[in-house]
């Protein structure tokens, strides 16, 4: 008799537990997302200037292929490119600032009045990796060092200094840009 009651008790607990599991699970968000990986910080994005947003991906290596779609501010006009990240101490929660040029360019970048140390990656018209450089702040100085690509480029991506490995950017990678941010 005790075994029979124990079986009914276990069955009852399983039914109640299953109903509770379904009820709690049904209260989740309509569009669930995964939590950030340990150590990854999620930031809300804050636009500044007249820059628009652009989605981008880095492909070409196993680490890059595992990377998610990213979001950058787009500097497309000469005025936007001249301003870039000047006078900024952060990038507003974006992965970086992407500079898009209409034709191949050899123009050098500089850090005039840019207090945020940056790394820059250059990509050609097909999105293929060209080269990278780390750039140091140059505040209130009459001349600043310049940073050039190894060969002509069409795209340049500025990120906080040291962030290129986190984005899996390096030799053999390819930038694909366009569309909305994820």
For residue range 111-147, list pLDDT tens digits in order.
999 999 999 999 999 999 999 999 999 998 899 999 9
177: nearest Cα among 95, 56, 74: 56
| pLDDT confidence tier of residue 88, bands split at 50, 70 and 90 | very high
- Our CA dihedral for 54, 48, 120, 118, rounded to 10 degrees, sits at -150
Q: Considering the entire predicted model, what is its pTM?
A: 0.74
Domains in the chain, ordered, with CATH? 52-177 (2.60.120.1140)
């Amino acid at each position: 008799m005790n075994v029979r009651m124990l079986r009914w008790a276990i069955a009852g607990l399983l039914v109640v537990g299953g109903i509770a599991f379904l009820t709690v699970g049904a209260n989740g968000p309509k569009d669930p997302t995964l939590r950030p990986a340990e150590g990854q910080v999620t930031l809300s994005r804050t636009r500044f200037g007249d820059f628009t947003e652009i989605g981008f991906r880095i492909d070409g290596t196993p680490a890059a292929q595992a990377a998610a779609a990213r979001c950058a501010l787009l500097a497309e006009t000469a005025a936007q490119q001249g301003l870039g990240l000047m006078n900024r101490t952060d990038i507003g929660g974006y992965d970086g600032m992407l500079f898009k040029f209409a034709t191949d360019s050899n123009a050098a970048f500089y850090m005039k009045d840019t207090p945020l140390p940056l790394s820059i990656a250059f990509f050609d018209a097909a999105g293929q990796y060209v080269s990278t450089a780390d750039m140091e702040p140059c505040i209130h100085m009459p001349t600043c060092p310049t940073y050039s690509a190894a060969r002509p480029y069409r795209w340049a991506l500025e990120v906080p200094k040291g962030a290129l490995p986190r984005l899996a950017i390096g030799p053999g990678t390819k930038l694909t840009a366009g569309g909305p941010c994820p």
